[in-house]
Each structure stands twice: as C-alpha cells, then as structure tokens.
Amino acid sequence: MQELDYKIEAKNGLKFRQLYGGIQDVLIPEMYVEQTTRKVLIMEWVEGQKLSEVKDLYLIEVGVYCSFNQLLEKGFYHADPHPGNLFRSYDGKLAYIDFGMMGEFKEELREGFIEACLHLVNRDFDALAKDFVTLGLLPPTAEKEAVTKALTGVFQNAVAKGVRNISFGDLLGNLGATMYKFKFRIPSYFSLVIRSLAVLEGIAISSNPNYKVLGSTYPYIARKVLTDSSPQLKSSLVALLYKEGVFRIDRLESLLTESLRARTEKALIKKQTEDTDSRLITKEILSFTLTEKGAFVREILLQEFAKGLDALGIATLDYFTSAVIPFAAPFSFSSLTEEDRINLTNLRRLLLLLSRVQSSKSASVVRVLLVQDHDAVHCDVFKQLVIIILQEVKEGSIYKNQTTYSEEASLVFYQLASAQEVLPILSVIPELPPELQQEFLHLPADLAGRLISRAAARTIRRMFL
C-alpha cells in the first residue's frame, strides 16, 4: 500500500528529477513536497500525448538513454513505465509521471548485469552462466557445464545476427523452458528491470516493428565498460579482450564501434554513426583514448602497438637477411614466432581501426599509392620497399616458412606507407582540444619506452636459451 502514501511518491519524484532532470529532452515534473500530504499529491501539471500514441523514435532513444542511466548508472529507476506514464509533451520532450513504484538496483548487480550483456553479445556462454549466479538467477550449486550448454542452445541463434538485431522479447521467450529445467529464481528487482525494458521495447515496436531495445542500449554499455573506473568492470574488459594472453582485437573493434553510437542528439538519431565520415570517427576515437576516462584503453592500445612494432622490426630484419644473402635461405632461422605473427596482424588492424580505411586483404596485389608531390619525399622510400616486398611474396622468392610473416609485414608496411591512410589520423590532431594535443605528444616517448623494454626482454631470453 506504499503507493497510496503520496508523501513517499513526492519524495521519489523529487529524487528522480534531481538524478535525471538534466538529461536533454527529458521532462520530470516538479514536486511540491511541503504542500503534499499522505492522501493529496501536489505536483507540476504536464500536458502532452501518450508516447505510445505518437511515432517519435527520437524520444524512444531518449527513453533508452534515460533508462540506461536509471538502471546501470544511478540504480534508482522508474519501475512502472507503462504507456500511461510516459508522455510526449507539447514542446517535444519525454515526460515521466507517477513515481509511486520505484526500484533500487545495487551497484554489484548493475555491474553483473553489464557483464551479462557483454558475455551474451560476445557469445561467451560459460561466463554468462556465472553471471546468472552473480545476479541471483541461479543457485551457486547449479551444474555450470549443463547450464552453459543449455544457454548456448537458447541464445546462439538469437545473437548470431549481431547485437543490433537481438530482440529482448525473443530472448525472454526462448529462455522459458531452460529457466524451468534449472530452477531459475527470479528476484523481485529483476522482474521490475525486465518489465521496464520490455515496456519500452513494446512502445518502440508500435512505431518501428524492427526496433530492438537491447541494440539501442548496448552502445551505452560498451562506452561504460571502456571508460568506467570500477575494478570489476576493468577486470571484465581485460578478460573480454584477452584469451590465454592473446589480444582479441575484433572485440575491441566491436566495443569502440558500438560506443560511438551512444548518442541522443536528433541529427545523429537520423544518421547513424556507421554512415558518418571516417574523419569524424577517427577524431572521436582519438579524443576518447586521450582523455582520462580512456586511460585504461589507451594503455592496452599502447601495449599492443609496442608488440606489433617490435614484431615488425624482427620481420623486416628477417626479410633483409634472406634478401641480401639468398643462398643462406634454406639454412636460415626465422626469428619470428607465432605470437609475432599475431602481433603483426593486430598492428595492421589497429591502424585500420584508427584510419577507418579499407585495405586489400591480399598481399599478392600491388596497389598504386596515390600521393601528392609534397608527400612523395616522406613516403617514397616506404613505397619502394613495400612494392619490393609485395613482389617478392608474389613470386614466392622469400623462404617459404617466412612467407606468412612477410605477407603480414608487407601489409603493415603498406598501411604505414600510404599517406592517404596515415595522414587522416594525424590531420585531426590540430582539431582536438589543446590538452588532448599535449597528451598525444607524450605517446611517442611512452611507446618508445615500451619498445625498448620488449627488445631488452627479447635479448635476455635469447641469452639464456
């Protein structure tokens, strides 16, 4: 009967307004707490139409963003967002009313929910089974292997088409039999959270049958994982990006790409991030990694760049050794390892990620490097070296055990050699704020220090092997 106590509702509304009233195009009516009694609520009058009666996908996106803040940032959320409680005000804002039923989402559960979303999208169903225990959905005694197998069967097809096509309703529907078999428990908080998201998706579907609330929420989740200072989320990010010490760059690419979609501005709702020009995307990635919030990801990127450049140096040395002393090739010993090959691949993909330029995947195709005359001085040597290496690989004259490594090195050289691909990264630097430009200038020294450390470690290993 707490909902009948309007003093409690007024305090809920006041707190909700303080937490979320500053979000762009969100309207939360003012509460007159002093004038409110237990049976009479005094609040600001709101006029408008039910959100379910107007086709306004922009306000749906605003609602998704506001829901993300409620559920995964602050933890205080509107637990009864049915169509009658969400309005489009006459000045075009999303208005919330009725604060009688509210929920609290504790921090450890918020982080567990974020981890569950990450593991679901990345099809890590073993980790997802553990998340369900953390969230209180499964008892700690549940048979993890059996649960993992069941979850794989339930979710594999649902996530196969990508995060933007995952239907929240379908996920819940498919989970029903598995929940019964493994005696899932549904905590009260979870019921309210699921109801809140399901209602929002239902309203959105009335305007756009293909709308997916999880697909719209995931960019904010991706950005939070990349920027949050929580030790638990940092640990989750490392576990997501590394498997047995190997960097999984495809997952970082996915997180960064999705995080760039975390917008609510009207112009950007109409024109999604993937349609934005590569220059803007490059600028945004650099801006993010150079800020304090991007420090953890920046450390990971610098570490992987150092690994890649170290491997590139070894690949170059091996190539020239076999080229200068061709008769020694049958007896040559390649310094490159399988780890180096992976690091070369990652270096090339990191360059592509930053420049957002498509590159040929075949090392046997020599492409013409189109540069202006004023660029020729800077890249002519690189161009000639790339053409030579690519031609050697094409003709098969490089020692065959080194071919894979040379191909990888050739593609990295190509990426570095083309002014058209590298200059977009550098050309956006003057457009960054002065403090970020200063941060960028510190990167070469930091990277050089890491390369020296790797070279020293490699030398020490050789001395004792």
Catalytic positions, written as ranges? 80
Q: Are 446 and 306 in contact (CB under 8 A)?
A: no
Main-chain phi, psi angles of 353, to 5 degrees: -60, -40
Q: Are 117 and 163 in contact (CB under 8 A)?
A: no
What's the Cα-to-Cα distance from 81 to each of 39, 50, 125, rounded to whole Å? 22, 12, 31
Give the C-alpha separation, 286 to 281, whole Å. Answer: 9
**SS3 letters across 38-49:** CCCCCECCCCEE
Q: How many residues does the chain have?
A: 465
Burial class (CB in 10 A: 0-12, 13-18, 19+), 73: middle
Ramachandran bin of 183, using left for φ above 0, alpha for ψ from -120 to 50, beta for the remaining angles: left
Residue 243 makes CB contacts below 8 A (sequence gap 6+) with none
Nearest to 330 by CA among 405, 392, 402: 402
Give the C-alpha separation, 407 to 362, whole Å. Answer: 8
Give the C-alpha separation, 273 to 48, whole Å. Answer: 31
What are the structure tokens assigned to 59, written together? Answer: 């306000």
